[in-house]
A = this chain, B = another copy of it.
């Protein structure tokens, strides 16, 4: 068997593993090869698959394979790697090899890689690059803004150009795959005045001027626009690319749909994690120690608020000692109040994230959620009250359980609405730690109202 046949066979095996989603076995097959051979296999795969395989290798093996990749291929594979692994590889590569890959990457991806690197490494790689200026400009923008997300310098066309001339110009310049789905049309002062889709260009009569069939109702954003806002605009208007303009309406870059898909997933993950008190940086590939530390930090943040609730309970120790059944029911009242608060909180946080709710709608949302809280407080209070009554045959226990449940659901609705809106108003993340704050309200209210009412009515509870 010649080595070449062997390579084809391995490639086929790797592809078979990938086809059934078994990335581990594919990676194991690649890991067994010398780095140069492994690089040939990775290069033969789709860059997204190559990246998947590399992610499963050890950091040392991974960088050895990447070093053997052709800069063009390596650039594509690096662009597809997850952030954690990409930063690790980039920091292990020497500045010359790294800059070779960066030169071949889309400028926005290259800027992303450099942004994640520590300063000295990034500066060294930047110094070795062929055209560092474009990247330097991108690095000056906030990573989470349109400026940090966009591909800079899309080609523009004058409105007086004909369709045939535009196609000819495109053919000569063979533009970047990512940005070429729209042709941006400018006036003599380079200001953006319209947009032509590639489809329109192809189907237009060759001698027509672009300005006669371009769309005028331009939707644009500027470099400072937040990336979430860019995602919302693209999703809302079903665009494949969003032009980014400066103060003089000149085109400075383009944000594309594929970057936005990543932003949407990232933002959703962040919201989900923050609502569950998990760090947004958490990743299944983190080591146990790193993950433990991150999660412990969040549990520690929760501890003072749990202690506050415990202190409120401790005020009623005397009552509990006399009527121990109260300690059986209290968790239902605090727990279900917390559940209701988290329901409200989640709806409000997600509605803010999807742009369906703004701080302006605060009063309307508060009154709506309070009404839901009262309706469900009455309904659920009755259910809990009846159960409490039946359990011990103590009518007063039923009444105070129902009242405490109602009070807690009322507070849950108010806290669940106001906490995220307040965080949004002060420009903080509405999801961040808001669950901790809301459940503190419900733990304290639930305990204070239930044990408090029990203390007031203790004579009906002790000797029935």
A288 is contacted by which of B265, B300, B325, B375 (Cβ under 8 Å)?
A: B375
Query: Does A162 belong to the interface (CB within 8 Å)?
Result: no
Are B314 and A276 interface neighbours, CB within 8 A? no
Stretch of A117-125, A140-148, A343-351, A418-426 that contacts chain B: A343-351
- 26 residue pairs A–B, Cβ–Cβ below 8 Å: A46-B217, A48-B236, A171-B202, A171-B203, A198-B199, A235-B261, A240-B240, A261-B261, A264-B264, A272-B350, A273-B347, A275-B276, A282-B347, A284-B351, A288-B368, A296-B376, A296-B379, A299-B380, A306-B335, A307-B332, A310-B329, A317-B325, A318-B324, A320-B327, A321-B322, A331-B334
Stretch of A91-99, A129-137, A244-252, A354-362 that contacts chain B: A354-362
Query: Does A13 belong to the interface (CB within 8 Å)?
Result: no
A357 and B284 in contact (CB under 8 A), knowing A177-B199, A202-B201, A257-B257? yes
Q: With A and B bound together, what is the CA distance between A339 and B300 in angstroms?
A: 11
Query: Does A289 belong to the interface (CB within 8 Å)?
Result: yes
Interface size on A, residues (CB 8 A): 109
A262 is contacted by which of B235, B272, B365 (Cβ under 8 Å)?
A: B235
Q: Which residues of B contact A277 (CB under 8 A)?
A: 339, 342-343
- Stoichiometry (number of copies): 2
Nearest chain B CB to A142 CB, angstrom units: 21
Minimal Cβ-Cβ distance residue in B for A200: B177
A-to-B contact residues, CB < 8 Å? 21-22, 46, 48, 167, 170-171, 174-175, 177, 180-181, 197-199, 201-204, 217, 219, 234-240, 257-258, 260-262, 264-265, 268-269, 271-273, 275-278, 282, 284, 288-289, 291-292, 295-296, 298-300, 302-303, 306-307, 309-310, 313-314, 317-318, 320-322, 324-332, 334-336, 339-340, 342-343, 345-347, 349-351, 354, 356-358, 360, 365, 368, 371-372, 375-376, 379-380, 383-384, 387, 439, 443, 447
Nearest chain B CB to A339 CB, angstrom units: 6
Q: With A and B bound together, what is the CA distance between A289 and B291 in angstroms?
A: 42
Interface core residue of A273, A299, A320, A329 (most chain B CB under 10 Å): A299
Are A332 and B346 interface neighbours, CB within 8 A? no
